[in-house]
Amino acid sequence: MSTAVVLRRACGADLPALLPLCAEHAAYEGLAHDATTHHANLVAALDASPPLLYAWLASVDQQAVGYASATLDFSTLDRASFLHLDCLYVCEGWRGHAIGLRLWQAAHALAAQLGCRQMQWQTPDWNVAAARFYRRLGAQETAKRRYTLALECQAQSPEPARSVDPAFNANGTCQRAD
């Protein structure tokens, strides 16, 4: 058995490898996760041009052993783009082999390529090993709480929603109130 780790960008065709990793990641963090729905959304987000979701797969002997995913976002307070590292997960038997570092480096390189001012991410409070790893990378920890709110939305497309704000016209352009 080889232990050479192959790291590459993931696309929609990688769903069969990505979905089990996502389910394992959710179970590891104790998160509710339904891996049976919205596959088309994930494929479309990965395959969009430019991607709505950037992702990387780490494999050994063609077996997926980790992944990372990120989205491009914009900070109002910093007035600049940042890369949001949504997920970084390495299967338990493969931790300690620098796979997480390589996945993080791939996301970091993309952030630099996209001209981002910073990267941002979060990890559960109980994940002391991850916090230690991120501090070793030079990341600064900030005290914040993360909130989620499920929306009763039937849209199945990863396309951004059109604004319903009366200050915006139908194509999303702001109309000044002079």
Q: What is the pLDDT of residues 125-154, one digit of tens each?
A: 888 888 888 899 888 888 887 787 888 765
Q: What is the pLDDT of residues 9-26, one digit of tens each?
A: 999 999 999 999 999 998
What's the whole-model pTM score?
A: 0.80
CB atoms within 10 A of CB 99: 23
The whole-angstrom separation of Cα 75 and Cα 35 is 30
Q: What is the pLDDT of residues 29-74, one digit of tens each?
A: 888 877 777 889 999 999 999 999 999 999 999 999 999 999 999 9
CATH says 5-136 is which class? alpha beta
Cα angle 47, 114, 133; round to 5: 95
